[in-house]
Every structure is written in structure tokens, then in C-alpha cells.
A and B are shown apart, each in its own frame.
Chain A
Amino acid sequence: MAENDLNKPEIDMPAELRQQIAVTTLDRIYNWSRSNSLWPMMFGLACCAIEMICTAASRYDLSRFGMEVMRPSPRQADVMIVSGTVTKKMVPQIVRLYNQMSEPKYVIAMGACASGGGPFKEGYNVVPGVDKFIPVDVYVAGCPPTPQALLHGLITLQKKIEGEHIPNTRWYKKGEVEAIPVPILGPDLFDPRNSELINSETHKPLPVVETIVEGGETA
């Protein structure tokens, strides 16, 4: 594994040292070690959570990929698997949990609901996709996705991590990464960033409707 994944391919290494020494870049060793020990957050929302549990169980066995350490605390987790329908009542908590996760952090939207609302999109209490609020790295299709599909999603995330370059990555740049403002439950869910838009829409003058009363006069 070391030879293929870790060693920089251009380096000409004597044959006798190949299994013992690896010459590589910082990016590569960093990504390699991180992508193989992703700790998902133990965080279930709906039906998809059951398939997530099945993925962690013996038959599909998440630990083959170094991901078996499900952490209930966001402080210790690297990847948030949003497994299920995101409702308006729950989304403030999800955003808060995301803000509490330490960086580097990734998000997988598992299933149709988390990706785009799914069968419940039209519902009045449903957020059509968790990406309205937090950045998503990998979307997994299915309702619910089979454990194989979730594993594929996690492997896709690993590949994405392996392509990262330290100077370009958001959380290694100077200054703090800003926390996402937590949405607020009012008469309906609102994002504090949209306050002005909402204010201007709700205070718009009502469109003047001309009704024709019998007799031809307008009222």
C-alpha cells in the first residue's frame, strides 16, 4: 500500500528500499493519513440512519475503510453524514452541530431527502436539501441509499480528500473560517442573512386589485 499510495511516483528508489522507505510530499502523506481515518458523526435523522447503522454493522463493515469510529460528539468528528429528511425544526441544530465540528470537516448528504428534499420536498416543514445551509461534499442517491451506495459515497469522499492541496484548502488559509449563521424559527424558518429580503417582501404594498362591481363602477 505504501508504495502505490504514498510514494511520489517520479522518485527513483532503489528496489531494496521500496518496502521500507517512502519519499513523498506533505500533501500526499497528509491526505493519505486523513482520508483513511475519517470519523463520522453518530447522527441519525430518519430512515437513512438505519441504513447507515447497517453499513457500520458486520455485513458491510465500515471499519474496512478506517471509519468505524462513530463519534456522538461533533467536536471529535470529521465527517457529518446527514442521513435523512432535514426539517425546519431540526435545521438550526444541524447548522449548530456543523459549526461545532472541528476542521477539516466534510458533509455527506445521504439520500434523496438530504440532497434535495426527496419525496417530502413539498412539505411545509421540510428543508429541500441540507445544502441550502451547509456546504455538502458528496451526495449519495437513493431512498434510502443501500449500504453499498453509502460506502461508495464515503470512498468518493476519500478520493476527494486525496486530491486536496494544503495551500488551497479553506481551513489552512489565514484568518478564521466564519461560522454559518444559525437559522431561526419564526413564523417560518428564516436565515438571518435574508432578513432584508424578507423585510422588503413582507412590507411590499399589496397589489391593487380592481374589482368590477355590478353596474360597471370600479371599487
Chain B
Amino acid sequence: MSEQTAIQPLYAKLMEKFPESVVMDERPGFGGIVVQSLNLVEVAQELRDNLGYDYLSSVTAADDFPEERLEVIYHLFKSVGGAPALLKVFLGRTEPVVPSLTPLYPGAELQEREVWDLYGIRFANHPDLRRILLWEGFDGFPLRKDWKEPLYEEDVKPYKSRWPEGKGERKELLNPYKDNVQYPREFDPSTWTGDVDQAMYKSLEISDDGNSRALKTDQLVVNLGPQHPSTHGAFRMAVVLEGETIVNLKPVVGYLHRNHEKIGERNTWLQNMPYTDRLDYLAPMSNNFGYAITVEKLMGITPPERAEYIRVMMAELTRIASHTMVTGFLLNDLGAYFTPALYALEERELILDIFEEVAGSRMMVNYFRFGGVARDVSPEVLKKIRHLVYNRLPRKIDELDKYIAQNEIVKVRCEGVGVLSADDAIAFSTTGPNLRASGVPYDVRRADPYSIYESLDFDVCTRDHGDVFDRYRVRIDEIRQSIRILKQVLERIPEGPIMAGKPQYLAKVPAGEAYGRVEGPRGELGFYVVSDGKPNPKRYHVRAPSFINLTSLAQMCKGAKVADAVTILGAVDIVLGEVDR
């Protein structure tokens, strides 16, 4: 594997400094540097300060059951582009503890909480280690391989009850409660006093000391959400206010935690494809893209040229649809209720029509396959796309931009609001338009090119102020660049097959691990998969950009007015399907 050879020089450098505590992961198909848990912080510090790995992309874990071992896996990148540094820490299964990297990389905060929540790995020195996707008091750590959900049937699909005979046994009828629930022994509901929010309120550090100010005031906690028109779904912000000014803020997520990863590890490789649609449901095509290229990395296949062009075409159309919609909804959040969104949705509908024609569904496209795409694009569809790209979209985007960017109220509400400096943006592992609006020209399509992006001509759009207005402008610029990409793709798209080899139901994936990433509309969408050569992934992790972008939300909101929190959240652009997975 090329990534394994790329990591060799780095390993040599670390070996010089920490000969005792680093070793290569020698398992066939695997790579990365295994670090002793005791020295993790020093190694990370060396990587960050002296070797340039300033961007912590992903923190996750894996369970090597039945071996008595858990792994914590870190993917570090340089913000100037290039291959990853892959760090691993091996831990025992009972009471695993690893030092937290949050003091070095604040972007690890939410991800480490997620690992604690789902794997029960404790992070020492983490500032606020609580459950994140589930709730305080939940029984067990669900992603451990020996933890079984209430409707557990078998370890892997296809289940014998469904295939090949299909006996159709309903699992919940065997459960004593006839429902998707299970309780530990000796649990007595009448004595249950657990308050799921207590720990969260405690972590907000509300001070009742009002004496230091001229006017004695109390701090006030306001919950925005989970049912709130501005939260774009079931999302909650607990905000500490002093008057109208935000003193502290904690995002509370998990209201849409649909157990993607647990279900994904039971599914076959291909069965996961439609599930990825439902991650970031505003951009299903780019989710497909990320998953497909990751598994293709493991399988060692490349799609034929026409398929690559179709993939890029669909991914860029998705980006346009998603960015226009977000722009419309940002205006919703500013109080310009629904009329601007109607302009945005009009263009999105036309793109959805194309998706419906090529994939059969407006939103949940399930269009990509390992080694190609599911169906070919007909000349009529190409004609439609041509019309959109050459005639309609450039004109409509200019129109939308004119209405918004020259609007005095929009400017006053957005300029200088929610500022994130370039250094902070990198430290918080922010990705996508949010990172580029802070002036960091980091785009996976350029930093770590995949598919045919290397041969395409486009600019990485950046702005300098890192405020809400710049995030909006980066999105509009990116739509224009996407149109530019689409024009080149439409000119060059070749004839030919759309699948490498025959389409197969059970993909044969050799043992090993792979981390694939694409630049989705919300930023770096990564998939970390581990295969043990069986028809199902052993580990399936989604590095969700909007989840990690939330890490910096508190930083952006502190000191702003409470009404601005809504605007800032709108510009961060989260999709709850992806945040909670």
C-alpha cells in the first residue's frame, strides 16, 4: 500500500526521538505507527510542533474482539496537504484509559467524547468527558463487539431468518417487552432518579457571582432546541447568557443517533451504500462517493473513465444543490423567512430532477457501486445538465448573490459575527467552507486528490475574515467553481463502460484497513473501514464533517448576542443526519 510506504520516513524520525515507544503496525494490510499510551501526548506534540501535522482529522476506535484489545486510531494531516500520519494506541478491554489530545488539538473534544460514549474508552485530562450521542445512564458501550442490541439476531447479515428461505420471524415478539428495549438485571424503574441533563448543566460552569459587574445580574441558561425552528433538525444548544450576551455554550447532540456504525458493521459492504445516503441527506451523492472510494482502495480497483466523470458530475451537482439550499436557510435564520429559501429550493429541485432520472430517487440516490456507478447517464440527461450548467445556474446564482450580498441587513447581521481565526480553525479541526472562509486554502480535492480532480481546472476558494458573511461568500464562490468543473466534465466525458468488471452483490474485500476522504459540501467526509476478509466490514466509521465543525461552535458564539448564535449555527451548516449518525 502506498500509504504504508509514505509513512516510513515519518516512522524513522519518530524512532529517533522515541525509540522505546513507537513501533510499526505490521499486520498485513494495516499501516500506521503504534504508540505506547504513556507517550502519546509527547509523540503528538512532536508531530504537531516539529513535523507539521497540525490538523487532527479523525479520532476513532476499533474493537479487536475476540482478542482482548481495543484500538484508538488517530488520523493526522498537514494543513498544507499530503498523506496522513496514522497513529494507533492499543489498549486492554477492561477499564481502558488513554491520555486526551484535546489540550493539543481542541478538535478532538467531541470525537473523544464519542469514543468514550460508544467504546467506553476513558480519556484522561479531557475537559468534559460525558456521553454525547447517547445519554448519561445508558447501559453499556454499544460499538463493542460483545455488546448486543435488543433486536440482535446474528453478528452479520444476511440473516438466516431472511435469506435464502425468508422465514420472516419478528425479533421483537421474542423480547419480553415486545419492543426494541432491554434492561440490566435488578433495574427497578420506580426507583430510577437519573437526570440525563444534570452533568451537562454542571459542565456549563454557571457562576452566580454577579458582584464584579456594575449591575448585579444572574447568569441564565437558555435551551435552544431540540424542537426549535432555527436548529435545522433535532439539535440543541444550551446557552449561558448574561443579559443577551453568550458566556458559554454547549451543543447537545444525539437526538438523531440512528446507529449507523453498529448497523454498518452487521451489513455487507454493499448494503451500507444506501445507508450512506442518509448521513448527510442534503448531499447523498458525495457520501456515496466517499464510501465507494474507500472500499475501492481496499479492493484495489479503479472505476472506468466514464464512471469517474459521472461521479464527479454528480458530486458537483450535489455541492451546488446543497450550497444553494444552505444559503437560502441562512437567510431563514436571519429572519427573512422562507422567501429567499424559495429561490434556493427552485434550483435544487432542478438538480433533484436529474438525480431522479439517473438514480431513481430524488434524495436517497444509492447510485455509486464499488468500481463504478449503478446506471449510465442518458444523452437526454446530459442535455438537461448542459442546459442547467451553461444557461440557467450561472444566471440564477448571480441573481441570488446580488439579492443577498448587497443587502444592508444581511451585511450588518453577518459581517464580523462568529469570527474564527485561521489558527483556531485548524486547531478545532474545522473543515470545508468554514475552514476556507478563515483563510486556509485546504480542500481535499487539491490537498489529497482523488478521482479525476487532479486533471480538472478549478480554484480553492478562500476568504480572509472567517465570519458568517465570508462563509456565505465561500459557498457562492464554490458554486461558481463547481459550475466551472461541470463545464469541463461535460466537454470531456468519454463513452465507455460504467463499471469495472461485473457488478457483484457480495464484494470481495481483502483484509486490511483504509481511510478514504472526499470534499463534501460540508467539508472533509472520511470513511475509516477495516476488513477481515469476510463479507462484512469489521469496523465502519464515518468522519462526519458537520459533527466535527460543531467543536468550534462555542468558540465562535462566546461574546456574541443570543440572536447571533442562530445565524452562526446556520452558517456552520450542520446536517443532523451526519452529526448524530
Contact = CB atoms under 8 A, between A and B. Distances in A.
B363 interface: yes
A166 interface: no
B349 interface: yes
Contacts of A44: 232-234
A192 interface: yes
Contact of A194 (B177, B254, B345): B177
B142 A198 contact: no
Contacts of A184: 189, 192
A141 interface: no
A51 B284 CA distance: 14
B180 A128 contact: yes
Contacts of B186: 202-203
Contact of B262 (A74, A117, A123, A194): A123
Given A44-B233, A45-B234, A87-B258, A144 B187 contact: no
Nearest to B188: A199
A54 B363 CA distance: 11
Contacts of A144: 363-364
Interface stretch (A1-9, A19-27, A89-97): A89-97
Interface in B166-200: 171-172, 176-177, 179-190, 192, 194, 196
B255 interface: yes
Contact of A46 (B142, B176, B281): B281
B229 A202 contact: no
Given A124-B150, A132-B179, A72 B263 contact: no
B190 A123 contact: no
Given A123-B263, A187-B184, A190-B189, A47 B364 contact: yes
B259 A146 contact: no
Interface residues of A, number: 56
Nearest to A68: B338
A146 B234 CA distance: 21
A122 interface: yes
B508 interface: no
B256 interface: yes
Contacts of A132: 179
B192 A186 contact: yes
Nearest to A183: B181
Contacts of A203: 185-186, 188
A173 interface: no
A33 B349 CA distance: 32
Interface stretch (B9-17, B60-68, B133-141): B133-141
Contacts of B349: 54, 57, 59
Given A87-B255, A125-B258, A198-B189, A43 B341 contact: no
Interface string B264-276: 0010000000110
Given A123-B149, A128-B172, A199-B189, A185 B196 contact: yes
Contacts of A194: 177, 189
A12 interface: no
B463 interface: no
Contacts of B247: none
Contacts of B183: 186-188, 190, 198, 201-202
A45 B575 CA distance: 11
Interface in A39-61: 42-47, 49-51, 53-54, 56-59
Contacts of A197: 176-177
A127 interface: yes
| Interface band, chain B | 35 or more
A66 interface: no
Contacts of A121: 151, 180
A127 B346 CA distance: 34
B233 A45 contact: yes
Nearest to A197: B177
Nearest to B257: A125
Interface in B222-277: 226-229, 232-234, 254-259, 262-263, 266, 274-275
A31 B290 CA distance: 51
Given A58-B346, A123-B149, A202-B187, A188 B182 contact: yes
B342 A89 contact: no
Contacts of B189: 184, 186, 190, 192, 194-195, 198-199
A50 B282 contact: yes
Interface string B333-357: 0000010011001101100000000
B275 A119 contact: yes
B576 interface: yes
B228 A125 contact: no
Contacts of A97: 227
A89 B226 CA distance: 10
Interface string B98-139: 000000000000000000000000000000000001110111
B84 interface: no
Contact of A57 (B172, B184, B255, B345): B345
A184 B257 CA distance: 17
A44 B233 CA distance: 5
A99 interface: no
A94 B190 CA distance: 22
Contacts of B338: 56
B180 A53 contact: no
B278 interface: yes
B576 to A, nearest CB: 7
B181 A54 contact: no
Nearest to A124: B149
Contact of A202 (B142, B184, B278): B184
A210 to B, nearest CB: 20
A114 interface: no
Contact of B226 (A74, A90, A201): A90
Contacts of B282: 50
The interface centre, meaning the residue of A56, A59, A122 with most chain B CB atoms within 10 A of its CB, is A122
Given A58-B346, A126-B259, A46 B181 contact: no
A123 B258 contact: yes
Nearest to B228: A72
B516 interface: no
B577 interface: yes
B501 to A, nearest CB: 28
A188 B580 CA distance: 18
A87 B177 CA distance: 17
A143 interface: yes
A9 B196 CA distance: 58
Contacts of B576: 46
B263 A125 contact: no
Contacts of B149: 122-124
B93 interface: no
Contacts of A206: 185
17 contacts: A58-B346, A59-B346, A72-B227, A90-B226, A117-B180, A120-B263, A123-B149, A123-B262, A132-B179, A184-B189, A185-B135, A186-B137, A186-B187, A188-B139, A190-B181, A202-B183, A202-B186
Given A46-B258, A56-B338, A123-B258, 17 more contacts: A45-B255, A46-B278, A46-B281, A72-B227, A74-B227, A87-B580, A89-B134, A120-B258, A122-B259, A144-B364, A185-B137, A185-B196, A186-B183, A190-B181, A197-B177, A199-B190, A202-B188
In the A-B complex, the 4 residue pairs with the closest CB atoms: A123-B259, A187-B139, A47-B281, A124-B149
